[in-house]
Amino acid sequence: MKSNQSKRNQTILVMIICLMCLIIIVPAARGQIQLPDLPENVYLFTSFGGDGGGLHMSWSTDARKWNELHGVFLVSKVGSGLMRDPFVLRGQGRQDSSDYQMVWTTGWSDKGIGYASTQDFVHWSIPRYLPFMEDVNGTRNCWAPEIFYDDTRREYMITWSSSVDGRFSETESDVRMNNRTYYVTTQNFRNFSKPQVLIDPGFDHIDTTITKDGNQYIAVIKEGDKQSTGEWGPIHILTASDPHGPWTLQKPPIVTERAEGPALVKVNNEKLLYFDYYGQNRYGARATKDWTSWRDVSSEVEVVEGQRHGTIIEVPSRVLEFLLVRNKGWEIETPPSVVPVNTADPSVRVFGDRYYLYPTTDQPNWMTTEFNVWSSPNLIDWKFENTIIDLTKQIDWADIRAWAPDCIERNGKYYFYFCGDGKIGVAASDSPTGPFKDALGRPLLTRQGQVRTNTIDPWAFIDDDGQAYLYFGQPPCHVYKLNDDMISFDGDPVVIQLREFREGIVVFKRNGKYYFMWSIDDARSPNYRVGWGTADSPFGPVKSHESREEFIVLEKNEPVIGTAHHSVFNVPGTDRWYVAYHRHAIKNGGGYNRQTVLARMLFDDNGNILPMNPMVSAFKPGDRGEPIINGKGLPEDPLTADDQ
């Protein structure tokens, strides 16, 4: 019979293969890693290091003796770029129950907070800035946010402390701030209520943390210090029968020494309150069973040196086991490149029962001369097909800068639009893999006359009524109607205004709505990213969301950077959509050294494109991908090989 240790090690292997269906890990020998014997659940202590340079963590089996997890688990530059007071709560009550939601202080004077989520504390969503108090005049700060799940209303409460000029004038002071606890509610961490005051005990306070015990709600707060006079604010407890209040201050205070950053955790039938003796660089702790009688258990706890204000959270032991494996040096991979060579500006098209990839082949300084094509039956297994055009051998009017192609089929013929030496040409073939022949013997488009944009990045689109269009430009975006021959134009070009448009226009149609997506910034920039908008016509006008969080749907999530210049394609017969984009190569990458990657693109109920995380793979190991049979994708979402 196998030992518990052996079973646990095997469990970890399975977990790493399919953990949360989001991550890919480099295989390694399991037996070389000796893991501690752990109970079913363990505790993680989140914290920040130094002045707020990133997320640090430690772990414990009893919430008293803590062991360091080495490394920084998340760094964020949202807001003013700090990460202080990181608070984590496991998602509850909805489909996000396997996620851990984290909020943090982003700066001393910011009017919002930071937010990200994770399923394993290694792979994180793209950090977002939540500007809760930006529209509240006189706001000085947003400090120490936390999350509480209100199980009666089935919604989350996000709390924080803010000092707002002109409010609570009776407690204004020259020797300390005038913070109160504010909150918003949310069910999805995207739509939020307006900020309101939650707790006003009649004095300045920060570091509010809330828990539920039976039918009673408990809040612990830190009264503000008067540092210039050496008066240190106590740590207090408040109670309520409803998390929205009213809250009643209980006396006496729990802690009267110079301390801050209270963190609560329930262990068996006891509640522990940790707090930071920030003037002494150490932690203290109190324990209670009834929230009234407290005993000092500081001598019983051992906190990792340098630990600062954070959260204590109970998690399944498998989460810790994964983190311990990571700390032993396993390499955590980013999503895989589609093909083994460096490519960029990918256009993926569906012809028949196969997918075809037409990219730019990267060379130093973008001095490329040829176009290649790969194909796949399922988006996982790719085959190099052919070099379909070599500018130096087949094109008379260009011999360099072979960039950003696209291909489309009409009436059994394939039209390949491509860039050569800053001009756009068109070639034709009877096969998606060529051979292609220059259809005109001259450029289709050059920058002259009514074309007042750089003639690069062509994108072909055929509407439901059969009308074809060719979009292009850098900037602004231009579009021509194509004639039926696909190599000449009907009428003059139309200029389409797009927010922050740089290049790489993509247009598609879903549920009667025209979607426009495009690249922002320079391809050599790590901030190369994708914005979007919609229109009721293929000529626009295009409307985009005002908020950056809804407007930008693909951007860097380090170490993945430079994520843009993409294409969009649909699995035939389904409402499943994918994006092929390029990123800077993970090793020795940059604007001339890039990799093509796939991402699943999802929509909300209103048709909005949801942000894509470039640290999440389109498929997990063992998936069969998206095979097409008789011109249609499978009726269900992609299944693993074991499900076939």
Asked if 120 is an active-site residue, the reply is no
* Calpha distance 170→167 (Å, rounded): 9
Q: What is the 3-state secondary structure (H, E, C) of 379-401?
A: CCCCEEEEEEEEHHHHCCCCCCC
Signed CA dihedral, 392, 397, 403, 406: sign only: negative
- 239 Cβ contact partners less than 8 Å away, ≥ 6 residues apart: 216, 217, 218, 219, 247, 248, 250, 291
Catalytic residue among 503, 555, 623, 626: 503
Query: Under DSSP, is residue 265 helix (H, G, I), strand (E, B) or coil?
Result: strand
Residues composing the chain: 644
* Calpha distance 558→512 (Å, rounded): 36
Nearest one of 474, 557, 452 to 519, comparing CA atoms: 474
Catalytic residue among 260, 345, 409, 623: 345
Partners of 267 in the β-ladder:
270
* Calpha distance 209→225 (Å, rounded): 18
Query: Under DSSP, is residue 301 helix (H, G, I), strand (E, B) or coil?
Result: coil
Q: Where are the beta strands (DSSP E) in 435-512?
A: 437-438, 459-462, 468-472, 477-482, 494-496, 503-510
Provide the 10 A C-beta neighbour count for residue 133: 22
CA terminus-to-terminus distance, the chain = 31
* Calpha distance 182→290 (Å, rounded): 27
Query: Under DSSP, is residue 284 helix (H, G, I), strand (E, B) or coil?
Result: strand
Asked if 170 is an active-site residue, the reply is no
Q: Is the N-terminal amide bond of 435 cis, ω within 30° of 0?
A: yes
Residues with a known catalytic role = 345, 503
